[in-house]
Structure 1
Amino acid sequence: MGLIRKLLYAGCSDLQEHDPQKAICFGVNVMVLVNATLCILVGGLFTLLSRNLLMLGGVLIETTFLSIPILANFKKRYFIASLSLYLLMCITTFYYGSVIGKEMDNATLMLVYSFSVAFFLFRGITLAICIAINFGFVALLNYNYAHHLIPTMTLPSKALEGFVKWSVFAVTLLLTALTFTMFAKRYSRVLLNLLKLRHYTSQVEKNLQEEEISNENKVKFISTTYHEVNNFFSGQSSLIRRLSILENQNRHADIKEILTIIEGYSENMQLLIKNALSWSMFEMQVTDEPYIELLDIKALLANMIRANEFIALEKNTRLIFLVDESLPAFLPSDRLKLLQITHNLLNNAIKHADEKDVILKLEKLPNGWRMIVQDNGVGISESLLQRIFNPFVTEKSKGNINGIGLGLYITRKLVDQLHGDISVRSQLNAGACFTVTFPELALS
């Protein structure tokens, strides 16, 4: 068995798995061993039945010359191996057909067999030449039938003639089936490699498209963040200049109001920068563990409302803060994450409120609490509703021309970190209602 395995894989082991030449090399070795086995068994049997030395000579010569293709493969002379096998098949087809005779041979089936071998082994001009050689040997075989250049063997009875005829038919059919099997094996590998290559190419193309979209989104994110930061510093500069004027006029009440506005702007800018850092961390799949402490939620979010009131007033929008009386005075949560969530939802509602009220409502639940942010503005279109928590998805409106759609994406990630749930109900031109549910959390 070890010797047979070495003969089967002679010259094939060093070839790559996806190389079509490996299938040809292996197929040549298989056909050599099968032909040698059939030559010895069937040819030996026919020699005993006919006692014809020409048949015995053909068996000995063919068996000897069948070693040439395997030796050529072993020396990595793959073309010589294929060509020598094909020529040997053509010569033996002519020789055995002549010895067996026209009545017991089936030259038509042998023609199919020779064709199948040629298509398995060769391509292009070599294939055309081999087909021409094949026709030449078939013509030569028929010429020999007419002129008996090689004497035909004789059998003592009709029964033996029938046996030889059907044996030749079976052997030829077996060799043809074997060749087509090798042919299918070769091209199934080629087809599989082509499919793998197509899949790999499409995946590379998809990755390039995603990378291009990602780069566009990053450029958009950077430019929009720059726009927001620039507006912040422009607004701060204007307010500081206003403070100087009010100080010279001793208008202390107005100075206090301006300082409150500056404080609100600063808190919003701090949360904007925190959003940028959060997005970067989510992109790198890095998350910070929440720090859970008891918080005065009412006071914390009331300050958030005051910080955003002036921004809302600039858009002719009023913020309304409603708190369920049954809500406990202190609740466990992560202070900064809760502020980010509230800021993003309020900021999103103010942008799309379309000069209508925005409501922030806190309610007690049996096993936690929830936050509701509702506006009566432009709403969210049905096409975006299923994707609204994805990055860089936003509903454009007159108050949100430059929005980049990261706020709700970051909000959902932060809610997940607090083991909560966020949902949205909306219709176009009928406002949107975001509901965030928080469970009872254990203190850090």
Structure 2
Amino acid sequence: MTGGPGRAPIPDIDAAGIDLLDPLLHRDYDLSALWQRLRRQAPVRWQAAGPQGPGFWVLTRHRDVAATYRDFRRFSSGQGNMLETLLRGGDPAGGQMLVVTDGRHHASLRRLMHGGFGHRALGIIGDCVRQATADVLQVALERGECNFVQDVASVVPLVAICELLAVPTVDRPEILHLTRSAMGSGPEAQRSMQARVAQSEILMYYYQLAMERRRAPGTDVVSLLANGVVEGRPLTDEEVVANCYNLIVGGNETTRLSMASGLLALIEHESEWARLSRGEVEVSTAADEILRWTTPVIHVGRTATTDVTISGTTIRAGDIVTLWNASANRDEEVFERPDQLILDRSPNHHLALGFGSHYCLGGYLATMELRALLELLQGEVASVALNGPVEWLSSNFVNGVESLPVRLRPTVRTRFPRA
């Protein structure tokens, strides 16, 4: 593999002047030095109110972030788990969608949905994931080039989620198209309009699908939600649709970003690619390190329910608190040589998939998809090199590349075995 350009190091400027809300900051710069400075000098930092809303707390140390993830009683998700949503006054899906619920209701809803992630279901999905990955990589290898985001990383996770939700095969091309539109590409104004239309169409589709599953239920997650009972009552239509939407968008986003940014990391770290190619590292361990390194969800948000002290700093009830996974996953107190990609890193206590009761419900599925990709890269791809400029997402919430043109050269075997 040949190396390629990443983001520029953050200039050595006063951390007090940094606006973590600025999506261009996260798009244009490698913030490793900033996170290190904040962990050492201001691990519990207050960012003052601005045009977009009130001020908020910034937690950057692994131990503080992990402890806050666990403490759902004092740090609630119910008002929202994204900073921009919290600054606008809260998430309208609060209390309905799994990621923005807490306590007993969260546990009951999670238990219901977890039934769709059983070993049998994931075994079937795993076969689909391996075959879908093999198919799209084979096409890319035959062409000798691809845009890895659009041609590989955007396809495989959606295949998995459609299988998980038992979306009828005839509907899948349209759902894949709508979900890509909901994620957005192109000029900002056009992207925003297309995304809103696509989001509305996805919600309507899952409402109709849920009504069908109430009449003829199966064992898929949509059926479980449409016919499930949580704390003694059936879920409302709004709750069913909100959780379907969260699964298909959230399940796609995390894996798509970690796949694409993970390949870029391998391009930029030739020695680690060589170790993977020679079979010197286990793909399961490598997948965890790719998740740590890429950290697709930069932060999550919480609201303090009571006055609480963290590392000597008092946070007041009602304050917005942000947990910066991107910093916690580079914390030198937890990770040896945190700013190096080490594919056989063990132990690896990363927080890329959350922690505690809010550990990602689809975490195992995401890891399974990454493993399938790494296995095929290891066995079937001799080399990958950049074939054009890398474009990074402009976001303060999710991290990754949205365009990754590459050239690929296959190993001696050029045909994948059928699953």
Q: TM-score, normalised by structure 1?
A: 0.21
Higher RCO (Cα < 8 Å, 6 or more apart): 2
Larger Rg: 1
Q: TM-score, normalised by structure 2?
A: 0.22
